[in-house]
Chain A
Amino acid sequence: MIYQTARLTALACLISTLPTAQAQSFPTPSERFGDPTSGAIPSFRKHVIPLLGVRGCNGRECHGSFAGKGNFQLSLFGYDFDKDHKEIVRDEDEIRTDKENPANSLILLKPTMQEKHKGKLRFKKGSWEYQLLLSWIKNGAKNDSKSTPEFDRLEVRPGSIEFTNSNQTRQLQVIVHWRDGTAEDVTELTRFRTNDESIADVDEKGLVSAASPGDTHVIAFYDNGVQPVPVYRPISRKTGNDYPELTTSTKVDELVVAKLRKLGIVPSAQCTDEEFLRRISLDVTGSLPLPKEIRSFVADRSPLKRSKKIDELLKRPAYAAWWTTKLCDYTGNNPQNQTDPVFRNEMARNWYEWIYHRVRTNVPYDQIAEGLIMATSRQKGESFMQFAKGMSQHFKTENPIPFHTRETMPFYWARRNVRQAEEKALSFAHSFLGVRIQCAQCHKHPFDQWTQQDFKKFQAFFEPIQYKANTPKGEKGDKGNNYQSLMKELEQFVGYDKEKKSNRKELRAEIKRRALAGQPVPWQELYIVNAKAKPSTKKPNNKKRRYPGRVITPSVLGGEDVHLTDYQDPRQPLMDWLRSDDNPYFAKAFINRVWYNYFGRGIVEPVDDMNLANPPSNGPLLDYLAKGFAESGHDMKWLHRTILSSDAYQRSWKPNETNLQDERNFSRMVVRRLPAEVVADAITQATASNTRVTAMTSSPADRTIGPDMLAKNNKKLTSMNYALSVFGKPDRTENCDCERSNAPTLLQSVFTRNDPSLISMINGSDRRAKGWITEVKEWYSGKTKSTKQANGNKRLKQLNDQRKILLAKVPKKPRNTRDTKAAQRYQLTIKKHKEAVQTLNRNISKLKRGQSNGNLAKRQITAVETDKLINETFLRTVSRMPSANELNMARTDINSNQDKIEGVKDLLWTLLNTKEFLVNH
């Protein structure tokens, strides 16, 4: 099967492949139709509907409103030609279009204000617009949408615009090419929009005017065509040959700098080692670097230390935990949306674990996606009882089989918010395509190619996916061996009455009890209705019955129709499409999200809104990464490493005069507030005891990005729930990456300044989770043993134990005293034994002497120790050593306290409240 993305590819290569020399001149619509004597006949699809579009008639505020206006309703943004034609040409009264007396048609009288029109004057009587409509009516007001050749592409001249100062303007010309090879100038029938009017504006006639320096796109919309035109205005004179000499060490940098050179933007310098380590630790593992890690990284003289660190971080469990958290965001893993009332938390946790295990072992991204998309509950050939028992093995208390050992993960399709096929389609588009097709659910997408018909065809793939009780044909009536019989048995067992709903709690408790014991219970399952599904003949609901009785043939977005009868499972062609080389979305959606994670904005921004009118800020860069990602076999670590190794990622946040305003071309590191879980864990890391901090780095348990967060059974974590909601952890119920908010708010400031949970973490007095300040306090008050002392005690115990064992094993005298050989052997061993005991005794007393000197007494903190504490506080929070000035300031502040530890506490509090702590920079 060949997937056709002709519309897309044609658009993409259009600018480069059509030399302007080839350009011929075309008459404009006003020239062709403005003169009533010309004899040109306007087309309904090519001219009439686009004209109503550019004059705003089918906009949402006017006749495009779902309720219509003045009893006249057009499809929003057009493209429902049959319906619109019916509305415009009503046979019974012939008021709107009066074929007998065309000039009396309402569609001419109203917009020209010859008759009262709430929508005001849209064009004048006698204008070319007027003549166009008039001549269409005169020629029979025909709907030619079926006979119009298919739309091929839109050509906009010039293909790109470069301005040099703010007084400049440039007129666009738009030419439509139809599939039959014909072409015409439709500039006057095209809608225009600028993506950033502070850079360039465009008026309704297509005249582009320069505003401030920078780059953006101007977009042309006609029929189903969407064509962006890049507009540049350099920020400085340092462009082309005047651009400073820059070495680019990676392909990524070559592509980033190529764009910067065009714009005269000079990138910022490389960031410091401390900045790099903090940035990359937070970005890759969602964790602050440990103080000792910072010290050794800074001290490391190896020129390869940054790339070594990248590799090392990608091996950490926290990398897997953070990216599992992100993948759970994109796919909507929220226990509240699982339909199973008994095991919903465990299911959400299993979902997490299933992904975690794969990210940890670097399973290719397309395979992870496949495991979710193509999931089924039953293994091949399994009977219901085998399946039910098998499921319980994952939930049982004793030696459960880890859920991640299952080949696929069925809970993505089990969510209550994707019960309907259209909800499944929307969720799929968001999770795996990074495309928002919501608009096309109800009307033509206003700035992408999608029509309502496209949506319906896409939706058809999802109709057969079901998650519920399943009793296939072969199992019906199979007494005692299917879902119903098992449920019935359970209901009778607990005395559940469906009518009265009595003993429902008991029923659930019994299901839980049996599942925990590994026995079969009635699990719902994910399955495909009607293997060898026929094309859906399901009629759309009443409201939207615009294609009555018409068979909907599934087709992938922007591709050809698919014959589902060729497939066992309708998801297979969908998965094939995702994997195909010319899929415009699948790989790019993930790449863009990874890029966003590292730069705070995507190459396409908003990150999950890929559409024709929202082109990437650096197309070649996205293409390069997409190609490499595919060639690597969707190797996620390749992608991370490629981005992280670039100079672009390792730049300072410090702007220069050319890149202060730049946030879309990656010329400096954009400062980003830390994501909710990362803030929460960073606060824990900054305030927790040394042992806990070390443990957090080596395991995702005890982390808000770990599996326990979903299981809701870890008190230390649930106490962070307030912080997580204040800092914008996503609920994972909407199909939008924007659910995660990284915006600063007032409540966040109140939280870091004075929230009781934060203050108690700083004080560290919670017995469950002793904090660093308490640790320090105990140390200086003599309550704690030093590490040296603690180690000594441990060693002492070991030695004593050895001595005990040794003493219990005194060699026995040989019975036969005449056996001289045995006697010799005995003498030898007893001598060795004595020596060993003596050595042990010596070591023990030596250690004891040392230990007695190691006792700590309550004492004042020395100046050297104060400095150490100051350094430690800075390293724990802002991950760097204090400057000389900061060190002096902190010394004075701490020494002004009677209790110096109170001073350290203040310093810790203060640094947690700095912007430097709360952002990645």
Chain B
Amino acid sequence: MAPHFFCDGIRRRDFLKIGALSGTGFGLSDYLGLANVNATTKARANSAIYVRLAGGPSHMDTFDMKPDAPDTHRGEFKEIATNVPGVRISEHLPKLAKCADKYTILRGVSHALAAHRLGAEYLMTGNRPMPALKYPTYGAVVSKELGAPSDIPSSVAIPKGPNAPTGFLGLEYGPFETGASPKAGQAMNIRGLSLSNGLTLNDIDRRNSLIKRYDTAFGSFAKEDKVLSGMDKFSQKAYEMMRSSRTREAFDLTRESASVSGLFNNESFSQSCLLATRLVESGVRLVSVQFGGWDTHRDNFSRLKDKNLPNLDDGLAGLFKTLDAKGLLETTAVFVTGEFGRTPKINQRGGRDHYPRAMFCLLAGGGMQGGQVIGASDEKGEGPRERVISPDDVAATFYHTLGIDHTKEYHTPTGRPVMIVRHGKLIPELV
């Protein structure tokens, strides 16, 4: 096979192991193998949870309150004190107020993309979207850099990941999608891994032996040919993963202790957070949880107060407490974000519209100092006060915590060198 060359004239040699031979299944060792030591800096976390608040949550009604702003801006909610002196958040986040020492609030995070898809792509990759290049999402990069044990998926999306989650990286770094949210007190049905419809381990073994007996058309050539041998390897791994109790048990919420599951209400976001902690505990590298309904163009306050904020409060507080109680918070980086904030000025329909100039993010765990507020927005929450934090910076810091050097270069299949996060700077308070 002719080797390929990069745009910068450098031989595609290390790529041969992944890219050129990804047609051949040799991505396997890289994907399932152990941590790629060379690529990692001093890692503090070895797994991550990414909570995506789809639709763009209002910053001014949650973690960046402006009690002194004029009526046209302020909103209906009051702020309350947290267990960290001086840090105040929305009254509708009481549980999170009691554990504010576990996470750090970033205020005045700012960008310029007010469309859902573009904003989301920016926040999911740490790179401003480009028309002709799809960047890989956090899950794909983490899968590639950190790998996972052979019987565990490296990245799981609850309930669904984004479109084209691996961007220009190979398909093998895509997430397992659960397809649905977990239900309280039930074993989660995960696509392809569950023993559903009465399937037993015996069936799995029996069928595996069936494949062995019937899949013989290529004889010894199957070992010589790269595509065929790659398929055999992946097939064997799929079998191991299905057979492994580790994955299945992680998805079985009934196995959780009452003291932990009692921390979560029965709503799907909270249960997703509970599942995320279990998955991380079992060795999954990155779990993404999607929580929608934040696009409050109308009735912002009633929707937040009655539904979104109580659920967010319950799920996230449960997540932090559980990780902490299980001793996982130190090794798990948590990143909570929407695609943008919402207009400080309240519109005629009692709603707030898209507003990327000022938004909030939460970062927690992975050795990042909690209880901080970093950055600030101006009096009316209309933009960063002085210091501008970009989504790129947050992404760089997130990767750094996982021991991934965000300046590492990948090569796109057309040979173009591209950094993991092209314009990110580490946030000093968190490194």
Contact = CB atoms under 8 A, between A and B. Distances in A.
Q: Do A and B come from one complex?
A: yes
A419 B132 CA distance: 11
Contact of B214 (A60, A336, A748, A911): A911
B221 A655 contact: yes
A263 to B, nearest CB: 15
Contacts of A423: 131-132
A736 B9 CA distance: 18
Contacts of B238: 746, 749-750, 753
Contacts of A614: 2
Given A60-B9, A216-B2, A744 B192 contact: no
B242 interface: yes
Interface in B193-227: 193-194, 196-197, 199, 207, 210-211, 213-215, 217-218, 221-222, 224-225, 227
Interface string A723-734: 001101001011
B172 A743 contact: yes
Contacts, number: 201
Contacts of A731: 134, 163-164
Interface in B305-347: 347
Q: Interface size for chain B: under 10, 10 to 19, 20 to 34, or 35 or more residues?
A: 35 or more
Contacts of B218: 653, 671, 915-916, 921
Given A446-B8, A754-B199, A886 B235 contact: no
B235 A913 contact: yes
A673 to B, nearest CB: 6
Nearest to A751: B192
Contact of A914 (B199, B217, B234, B348): B217
Interface in A672-729: 672-673, 722, 725-726, 728
Contact of A76 (B8, B168, B232): B8
A910 B2 contact: no
B196 A748 contact: no
B228 A909 contact: no
Contact of A500 (B211, B241, B347): B347
A255 interface: no
A81 B257 CA distance: 71
User: Which of B3, B232, B238 has most chain A Cβ within 10 Å?
Assistant: B238
Interface in A578-630: 605-606, 609, 613-614
Nearest to B219: A654
Interface string B4-45: 110111100000000000111101100110000000000000
Contacts of A664: 1-2
A417 B131 contact: yes
B31 to A, nearest CB: 7
A332 to B, nearest CB: 9
Given A438-B414, A447-B9, A749-B238, A915 B232 contact: yes
Contacts of A746: 28, 31-32, 172, 234, 237-238, 241
Interface string A166-210: 000000000000000000000000000101110000000000000
Given A196-B2, A743-B25, A906-B210, A753 B192 contact: yes
A910 B207 contact: yes
A590 B133 CA distance: 23
Contact of A749 (B117, B131, B199, B235): B235
A531 interface: no
B174 interface: yes
A196 B225 CA distance: 19
Interface string B153-191: 000000000011000101110101100000000000101
B217 A196 contact: no
Given A731-B163, A742-B23, A749-B237, A438 B215 contact: no
B77 interface: no
A77 B414 contact: no
A745 interface: yes
A439 interface: yes
B227 A734 contact: no
Interface in A419-465: 419, 423, 426-427, 436, 438-439, 446-447
Contacts of B164: 725, 731, 733
Contacts of B230: 743-744
A621 B8 CA distance: 31
Contacts of B31: 746
A735 B177 CA distance: 28
Given A501-B353, A655-B221, A722-B177, A744 B215 contact: no
A749 B22 CA distance: 15
A741 B211 contact: no
A754 B9 contact: no
Contacts of A348: none
B273 to A, nearest CB: 24
Contacts of A447: 5, 9
A916 B211 contact: no
Given A438-B416, A915-B228, A745 B193 contact: no
A419 B131 contact: yes
A889 interface: yes
Given A60-B10, A755-B191, A741 B22 contact: yes
A417 B133 CA distance: 10
A195 B2 contact: yes
Contacts of A672: 227
Interface string B244-288: 000000000000000000000000000000000000000000000
Given A734-B168, A754-B242, A915-B231, A446 B237 contact: no
Nearest to B208: A753
Contacts of B214: 886, 889, 907, 910-911, 914
B237 A606 contact: no
Given A60-B9, A416-B131, A446-B7, A916 B174 contact: no
B2 to A, nearest CB: 5
A609 B5 CA distance: 11
Contacts of B239: 753
B353 A743 contact: no
Given A216-B2, A745-B172, A910-B207, A438 B7 contact: yes
A59 interface: yes
A121 to B, nearest CB: 21
Given A195-B3, A606-B4, A915-B215, A671 B131 contact: no
Contacts of B348: 500, 502
A742 B237 CA distance: 19
B231 A736 contact: no
User: Which of B25, B132, B197 has most chain A Cβ within 10 Å?
Assistant: B132
A27 interface: no
A893 interface: yes
A747 interface: yes
User: Which of B25, B234, B235 has most chain A Cβ within 10 Å?
Assistant: B235
Given A446-B9, A750-B241, A754-B194, 18 more contacts: A216-B2, A336-B117, A438-B414, A733-B131, A734-B132, A734-B133, A734-B414, A746-B32, A746-B237, A747-B192, A749-B237, A756-B192, A759-B197, A886-B214, A913-B211, A914-B215, A914-B217, A915-B232
Interface of B: 1-5, 7-10, 22-25, 27-28, 31-32, 117, 131-134, 163-164, 168, 170-172, 174, 176-177, 189, 191-194, 196-197, 199, 207, 210-211, 213-215, 217-218, 221-222, 224-225, 227-228, 230-232, 234-235, 237-239, 241-242, 347-348, 353, 412-417
15 contacts: A59-B8, A60-B417, A653-B221, A734-B168, A736-B412, A743-B24, A743-B27, A745-B170, A746-B28, A746-B237, A759-B197, A910-B215, A916-B217, A919-B231, A921-B218
Q: Which 9 A-B pairs have the closest CB atoms?
A: A417-B131, A446-B9, A749-B238, A738-B413, A750-B192, A914-B215, A916-B217, A60-B8, A910-B210
Interface of A: 59-60, 76-77, 193, 195-197, 216, 336, 416-419, 423, 426-427, 436, 438-439, 446-447, 500-502, 605-606, 609, 613-614, 653-655, 660, 663-664, 671-673, 722, 725-726, 728, 731, 733-736, 738-739, 741-751, 753-756, 759, 878, 886, 889, 893, 906-907, 909-911, 913-916, 918-919, 921
